[in-house]
Amino acid sequence: MTKKSRLTESSVTPEEIFYQRRKVLQALGLTAAALTLPISAQAELFSWLKGSEKPTAPSGKPLDFTKPAAYHADLPLTPEDKVTGYNNFYEFGLDKADPAANSGSLKTEGWQIHISGEVAKPITLNIDDLIKRFALEERIYRLRCVEAWSMVIPWIGFELGKLIKFAEPTSKARYVAFHTLYDPEQMPGQANRFTGGGLEYPYVEGLRMDEAMNPLTLLTVGVYGKTLPNQNGAPVRLITPWKYGFKSIKSIVEIRLTEQQPPTTWNLSAPNEYGFYANVNPQVDHPRWSQATERVIGSGGILDVKRQPTLLFNGYADRVASMYSGLDLRSNF
């Protein structure tokens, strides 16, 4: 999902191929071939091969939460090692394995999140206060990446709307803007335009106020029963399950209520390809690939990854479609 050069539909790699291609390189004896390479290239190759084992699921801190039946649809969960090992988090590299391999440099202790802008009560909360103040729920949601793959993930968090109400929005608040941490020392992808996929940092996202207040919108602090691993956006990230995954911004430090529609990272990068709304829609194709179907991550081996039809609003039409009545979903993609 980078700019023109890197991504075409064919470069959207099925996860099994992604794990296998490293094994294949090892089987081909690339470790021996590597010895003929210049030292700098050897180092690069070795650090790349080091990621050849499947990342093990990191052990987060167990969380207390309820499991409301309304959000426990009977969907087959994506295995935990895929959820925590096949990620998009460009601040830590462009390969799906990079975030798990490289995000150990992110320091989340003492993390603070600010709620500011068009609110009567701007607040700064540290992550422990946030977890104590808002009762946590586990919610099983589909995740649909714009790259046409999908997962089903048991997130833990609370409704963003509860935090927004707590800050008392003014009558001018029409949008909510989000920022990821900006710190190139902790996030190497921010340090240069090549490793960071050519994106502008910090990563920014935004929602309309009604979208932010929708009960589905989850401010998320955990997954699979524990605090978020860094690669999944520790310590706090957004989940908007009816929108393409890039809206679900990770490692948030700032939530700002605004009068004007805020800029969003992928829209700035390629406005003809990634819109502000980014609602999942099987009938509105990406300019470079179809969105009619999706690959189900973790559903099979290298040759039989299941493809299934994409659902309008990712299957959440009953809870979100009314927000878009009268809006042309094709021009407002």
Check whether 116 is labelled as a binding-site residue: no
Which residues is 316 bridged to in the sheet?
none
Q: Which of 232, 299, 310, 314 binds ligand MTE (CB under 6 A)?
A: 232
| 19 in contact with Mo ion (CB under 5 A) | no
Q: Please name which of 88, 134, 112 lies closest in space to residue 254, comparing C-alpha atoms.
A: 112
Task: Map residue 253 onto helix, strand or coil.
Answer: strand
| 94 in contact with Mo ion (CB under 5 A) | no
Q: Please name which of 327, 203, 183 lies closest in space to residue 262, comparing C-alpha atoms.
A: 203
Residue 308 burial (C-beta neighbours within 10 Å; 0-12, 13-18, 19+): exposed
The alpha carbon torsion through 195, 197, 203, 209 (nearest 10 deg) reads -160
Q: Which of 106, 145, 181, 255 binds Mo ion (CB under 5 A)?
A: 145
Q: For residue 73, how many C-alpha atoms fall within 13 Å in the half-sphere facing its CB?
A: 10
Q: Which listed option, ligand MTE, Mo ion, none, makes contact with residue 218 (CB within 5 to 8 Å by class)?
A: none
Identify the H or E element spanning 210: helix 209-213
| 246 in contact with Mo ion (CB under 5 A) | yes
| 217 in contact with ligand MTE (CB under 6 A) | no
| 186 in contact with ligand MTE (CB under 6 A) | no
Q: Toward ligand MTE, which CB reaches closer, 118 or 244? A: 244
Binding region for ligand MTE (CB under 6 A) out of 22-30, 50-58, 59-67, 88-96 = 88-96
| 145 in contact with ligand MTE (CB under 6 A) | yes
Amino acid identity of residue 61, one-letter, is K
Check whether 248 is labelled as a binding-site residue: yes
Q: Please name which of 79, 87, 75, 104 lies closest in space to residue 224, comparing C-alpha atoms.
A: 79
Q: Would you tell me which residues interact with ligand MTE (CB under 6 A)? A: 1, 87-91, 143, 145, 180, 203, 232-233, 245-246, 248-251
Q: Which residues bind Mo ion (CB under 5 A)?
A: 88, 145, 245-246
Q: Which residues are annotated as a binding site for Mo-molybdopterin?
A: 87, 90-91, 145, 180, 232, 237, 248-250
